[in-house]
């Protein structure tokens, strides 16, 4: 076998690998979506509990009926995409995914903690428009053959100190944040009440 054929064969394998969706390798948490010829793409930053998401963390997109129609396994820390979100193919009897203009929902899974984030534990921020990639609408919607930039922040709601559990230090930090934001002229009963509650929480958390 000559060298040129060997290199050519490997280039073909590489091209095939690049064409395949990246979840063929190893989705551990979410199921793989059914593919269709109609695709809307998303990309952007992804963080979990204030830190960039790790390789093997998973992002899933759902249509408004709860059908999983997009999946991406993080490869580069803190980034995702292009994530293909599949649309329904009207020529097939099954429902493959979203319709034009349909709202999309997102879930995130941490491979390190095995925790799933969704609903009010996800904050979405439109990314910048660059070239053919548009800044995503909020909430995100599905449009065929459009690429959107969308940053995803997954976190545990009320975990104010970002230590992945909700306990007294979170309540204490929350009250301290309120007291810093609140200003009023003396005498101020509200500020005194806040101060007293902070003292109680400090004693309880010791």
Residue 16, H or E segment: helix 3-19
Angstrom distance (rounded) from CA 182 to CA 196 = 15
- 113 touches Ca ion by CB under 5 A: no
- What is the smallest separation between the CB atom of 205 and Ca ion, expressed in angstroms? 11
The answer to whether residue 161 forms part of the interface with Ca ion (CB under 5 A) is yes
Closest separation in Å from C-beta 13 to Ca ion: 32
**Binding span for Ca ion by CB under 5 A among 135-143, 151-159, 182-190, 195-203:** 151-159
The minimum distance between CB 165 and Ca ion, in angstroms, equals 5
Residue 167, CA distances (Å) to 16, 110, 156, 176, 193 in order: 49, 21, 12, 15, 21
Give least dist CB 4 to Ca ion, A: 44
Nearer to Ca ion, 64 or 126 (CB): 64
Rule CB under 5 A: say whether 41 interacts with Ca ion: no
Query: Which residues share a beta bridge with 152?
Result: 46, 124
CA distance 102 to 30: 21
Q: How far apart are CA 166 and CA 157, in angstroms?
A: 9
Q: What is the C-alpha to C-alpha distance for residues 117 and 163, in angstroms, rounded to an integer?
A: 15
Q: What single DSSP character describes residue 34?
A: P
By the rule CB under 5 A, 159 interacts with Ca ion: yes
- 168 versus 197: smaller Cβ distance to Ca ion: 168
Judged by CB under 5 A, does residue 102 bind Ca ion? no
Q: Where along the sequence are the contacts to Ca ion (CB under 5 A)?
A: 88-89, 92, 159, 161, 163, 170
């Amino acid at each position: 076998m000559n060298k040129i054929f060997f290199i050519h064969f490997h280039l073909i394998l590489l091209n095939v690998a690049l064409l395949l969706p990246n979840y063929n390798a190893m989705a551990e948490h979410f199921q793989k979506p059914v593919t269709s010829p109609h695709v809307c793409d998303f990309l952007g930053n992804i963080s979990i509990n204030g830190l960039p998401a790790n390789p093997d963390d998973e992002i899933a997109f759902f249509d408004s009926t709860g059908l999983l129609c997009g999946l991406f396994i993080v490869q580069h820390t803190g980034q995702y995409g292009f994530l293909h979100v599949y649309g329904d193919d009207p020529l097939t009897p099954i429902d493959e995914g979203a319709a034009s203009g349909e709202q999309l929902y997102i879930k995130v899974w941490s491979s390190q903690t095995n925790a799933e984030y969704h609903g009010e534990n996800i904050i979405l921020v439109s990314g910048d428009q660059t070239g053919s990639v548009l800044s995503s609408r909020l909430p995100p919607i599905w449009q065929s053959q459009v690429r959107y930039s969308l940053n995803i922040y997954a976190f545990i709601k009320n975990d104010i100190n970002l230590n992945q559990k909700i306990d007294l230090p979170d309540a204490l930090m929350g009250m301290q944040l309120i007291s810093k934001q609140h200003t009023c002229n003396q005498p101020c009963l509200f500020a005194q009440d806040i101060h007293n509650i902070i003292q109680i929480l400090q004693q309880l958390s010791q």
